[in-house]
Each structure stands twice: as structure tokens, then as C-alpha cells.
Amino acid sequence: MTGTEIARDRKAAVSARALSKTFGQGDYAVTALDSVELDILENEFFTLLGPSGCGKTTLLRLIAGFELPTNGSISLQGQDITDKPPHRRPINTVFQNYALFPHMTVAENIGFGLRMLGSPADQIRQTTERMLALVQLEAMAGRRTDQLSGGQQQRVALARALAPAPKVLLLDEPLAALDLKLRKNMQLELKSLQAETGITFVFVTHDQEEALTMSDRIAVMKSGQILQIGTPRDIYDRPTHRFVADFIGDINILEGTVQHTDGDLATVRLKDGTSVSAHLATTSARSGNASVAIRPENVRLAGAGETPTLTGVLENVVYFGAATNLHLRLGTGEEIVIRNPGAVDEGRYQTGATIGAVMQPDLTRVLE
């Protein structure tokens, strides 16, 4: 797949091999991370995406060194760092709550890492100034951190983590506490900061939209495992698991049985007897029960004289400016959503009407 192809021609910044983490013991043991294999590349904006409790933060804390793995190893640019304490890893973290030192000024916070590394005072001052300029907080250098707004604190946390020029920057849901507008701005700023500094960013979020807009590659996690690693397009257009498809964006999922396969194209018989053709998400030929998935924007209303793939009763029409969602109830009792760009003819598409829908075969997928 595309994700692994990239991995072959670029060097890995962070690699995890058979990485596992179990909290507690005996009957109370909870597996937070289960044999994770991962290569995060140099100069990459890599996102760990998943619902809360999926292990993404645990993975981040293992890379930072705040937790020690139960099994497996982590390496940084080919060197094993599994047993190194956090202060010996050239990796810095932007914490979810920023964790700025309240007893220091903004400038002292930013200079802290270099001070602990024993850098000369001159260099600390210069780097601090450069970082303050980078995050546009020159005027705030002497302020105490509790006198800053949330967005400014976020910037200080970023500057503090970037100042010692780490090999990898870890970001633990750093935008979660910001309001929507600020979050959108910071998303773009972070992205351009990453390009500017050339530092590998590992970003943790549960916000799929954030992951899609910012990342070079995304790893989707669930219950301590990585389900799929790929570019945002891979993840969105070619999800391999039903969970991935469901978690990212809206998707229609219909249950059926695989009739026969031809290459990576399969014919699936849905519960009401209709046959649809779809791409197999994984190369392993499939038979038996399967889920057929298609994004609402890849289903369209059947034109006049066109043979629809599916027919159903229109239950709901939801107009939201750029598009209209039409909710169709199929004969099987399942629901399918059609996203029609712009408005629809209200006279023709009234609730209760029987409507035909066309699924584009090349964008329909059979999921694991």
C-alpha cells in the first residue's frame, strides 16, 4: 500500500517493534497497546488518530519515555531508546494542558530545555528570541504564563518544546482546549511550522477532520492496535476496516454476501437480493459475509431512464447549504444517505417518495 511504499524510500525517525503496554496486573490487567509495529519517517507530520482509550496517548508517552513498554522496543533514527529516561531522549512534548511552568516567565519557560542541557547563556537568549519570533510572542517575553490567553499559552508550549531543536516533536491533543476558530488557525500554523523546521511531528488527536487536514500520514488506532496507516486520501478513500471507514467521515454500510471475486473486484449480494460490485479493501480474496461501504458523496440520485443500483423510500431531506443529504430506507430496513451537491428539487424529492440511487462501483468497497 501507499503508506508502506513511502516507508521504503525514506528513513524512519521513530520505529516501534512489537510494542506492548499493559497497565495493572493479574485480573485487573488492561492492555493499552498490543504489539504495535510502526515507522514514523523523518520530516513527516504523522498523526495517531482514534477514539479515547484506543492507546494513542499511551503510544505517545512510550515514545516520550514517560512510560516503559511491557514488551517490544522503540528506536530513534535507528538507535534503541527503549530504556532511556525522558531527559536523555532528544524528543520534546507539547502537553495537552500545555504544562507551562507557572513560576517562570514566558522567556524562562522557552529557555528551560536549553538551560537544563547546559547551553551557554548567550545561545539560550538567542534561541529564546528566535522562538518568540517564530510564535509571534515577542511582546510577551516577560509575562507570567497565567496572564496569557489559551492560544498564547499553546504557542509558548510549542516554542518551549521546539527550542532545544528536538529530533521529534510529540503533540498530545494540543488543540483540544481551543475554540473552533483558533483551532482552525493553529492547525494551519502547526502545519507550516512543521514544514519550516523540518522536525518530525507526531500528533495525537481524536478529531478526524484535524487529522485529515494536517497530516502527511495517519495511523488509525482502536483498542491498542493500529488498524490502518496511510495518507489522508488512503484512509478516506480506501479504508481497510469497517471501523476506519466509520470513524473517518460519513459512510454508508450495507451487509451482504460475497458471490464471486474477479481480481480485486467482488460481486456482493445484498440482503434484499440486489447485486452490487465493489473493490476488495484487502488483497485476500473474500467469501461469505461482508460489509459494503460507500461515502454518501459517492452515491448519486438515479437520473431519468437510468437503472438504479438501489431503490428506497425517502425518509428525510436535510439541506445544509453546500449539499443536501437524502436519507433512504431500503427494503432490507437498512438506511443509506445520498449527498447531493447543492439543493434538490423539493417537489420531486418529498418524504415518502420511492427514489433510485446509483453507487459508483470504483468507490464502493468491501471491508474486513
Helix (H) or strand (E) holding 336: strand 335-341
Q: Strand, helix or coil at 198? A: coil
- For residue 150, the SS3 value is helix
117/195 with CB nearer other proteins = 117
Q: Which of residues 153-182 bind other proteins (CB under 8 A)?
A: 160-161, 164
Per CB under 8 A, 224 contacts other proteins: no
3-state secondary structure of 229: strand
Smallest separation (angstroms) from other proteins to the CB of 21: 16
Q: Is 349 in the site for other proteins (CB under 8 A)?
A: no
Nearest residue (CB) to other proteins, 159 versus 248: 159
CB 62 to other proteins: min, Å:
13
Angle between helices 121-134 and 106-117 (to 10 degrees): 130
* Bridge partners, residue 294, by sequence: 252
Q: What is the three-class DSSP state of 320?
A: coil
DSSP 79-122: EE-TT--GGGSSEEEE-TT----TTSBHHHHHHHHHHHHT--HH
Which positions from 64 through 103 interact with other proteins, judged by CB under 8 A?
64-66, 85-88, 91-93, 95, 97, 99-103
- Least separation in angstroms between CB 74 and other proteins: 15
- CA pair distance 266, 291, nearest whole angstrom: 12
Grid coordinates representing 115 are 538551560
194 binds other proteins (CB under 8 A): no
Q: By C-beta, is 113 or 230 nearer to other proteins?
A: 113
- Our separate counts of H helices and E strands in the chain read 9, 20
Give 178 or 266: the residue with its C-beta nearer to other proteins.
Answer: 178
Q: Among 117, 133, 188, 353, which residue interacts with other proteins (rule: CB under 8 A)?
A: 117
Q: Is 23 in the site for other proteins (CB under 8 A)?
A: no
Out of 45, 112, 203, 236, the only residue in the binding site for other proteins (CB under 8 A) is 112
Residue closer to other proteins, measured from CB, 64 or 294? 64
**Residue 8 interacting with other proteins (CB under 8 A):** no
Identify which of residues 104 and 302 has a Cβ nearer to other proteins in the complex: 104
Compute the least distance from the CB of residue 115 to other proteins, in Å. 8
10 Å Cβ neighbour count for 107? 22
Start-to-end CA span in the chain (Å) = 16
Query: Closest approach of Cβ 86 to other proteins, in Å?
Result: 4
3-state secondary structure of 29: coil
Site for other proteins in 26-65 (CB under 8 A): 64-65
CB atoms under 10 Å from CB of 283, counted, come to: 9
CA 109/CA 133 separation, integer angstroms: 15
One of 50, 69, 113, 312 touching other proteins (CB under 8 A): 113
The reply to whether 141 sits near other proteins by the rule CB under 8 A is no
Min separation Cβ 212 and other proteins, Å: 28
**Residue 185 Cβ vs other proteins, minimum distance, rounded to whole Å:** 24
Residue 298's CB is within 10 A of a number of other CB atoms, namely 20
| CA 119 – CA 115 distance, rounded (Å) | 6
Give the nearest distance from C-beta 250 to other proteins in angstroms.
Answer: 35
**C-alpha to C-alpha distance for 209 and 306, rounded to whole angstroms:** 35
Among 125, 144, 167, 184, binds other proteins (CB under 8 A): 144
Q: CA-CA distance, 255 to 270, in Å (whole number)?
A: 6
- The answer to whether 151 contacts other proteins (rule: CB under 8 A) is no
Instruction: Give the number of residues in contact with other proteins, rule: CB under 8 A.
Output: 26
> Least separation, in Å, of the C-beta of 93 and other proteins?
5
Is beta strand 12-23 parallel, antiparallel or unpaired with respect to 71-76?
A: antiparallel
The three cell numbers locating residue 69: 513498554
Q: Smallest gap, in angstroms, from Cβ of residue 36 to other proteins? A: 21
Q: Which residues bind other proteins (CB under 8 A)?
A: 64-66, 85-88, 91-93, 95, 97, 99-103, 105, 112-113, 116-117, 144, 160-161, 164
